[in-house]
């Protein structure tokens, strides 16, 4: 996946049990996956949805990953799942003391597209 950028080659979490001192290796891999998925958003929203779900499993508090997932679900006309994912994200962020807008439309409107 790193050589080709083909997100279909990703097989899930990598180095999930890395020992201390190597934290940047998984982060770099997930960043590469994220960058590849951003490039697929307009042309392959269904693939982007799958990748965004993996990214959110890795880091459920990453707003860039959340935005990518919401945008992909919106483009894929998957509004039921979009509402569910956003509700779950709101609950997660509330646990941290951070309040997200009431609905996903307002959330996406407040975030700049280039601000993934």
Residues of the chain predicted below pLDDT 70? 1-5, 7, 9-23, 112-116
SS (H, E, C) the chain: CCCCCCHHHCCCCCCCCCCCCCCHHHHHHHHHHHHHHHHHCCCCHHHHHHHHHHHHHHCCCCHHHHHHHHHHHHHCCCHHHHHHHHHHHHHHHHHCCCCCCCCHHHHHHHCCCCCC
pLDDT at 20: 47
pTM for the full predicted model: 0.77
The full set of domain ranges for the chain reads 15-110
């Amino acid at each position: 996946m790193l050589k080709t950028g083909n997100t279909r080659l990703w097989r899930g979490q990598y180095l999930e049990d890395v020992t201390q001192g190597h934290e940047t290796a998984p982060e770099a891999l997930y960043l590469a996956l994220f960058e590849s998925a951003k490039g697929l958003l307009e042309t392959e929203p269904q693939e982007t949805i799958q990748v965004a779900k993996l990214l959110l499993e890795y880091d459920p508090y990453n707003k860039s990953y959340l935005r990518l997932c919401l945008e992909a679900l919106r483009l894929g006309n998957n509004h039921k799942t979009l509402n569910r994912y956003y509700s779950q994200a709101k609950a997660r962020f509330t646990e941290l003391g951070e309040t997200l807008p009431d609905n996903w439309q307002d959330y996406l409107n407040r975030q700049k597209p280039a601000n993934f």
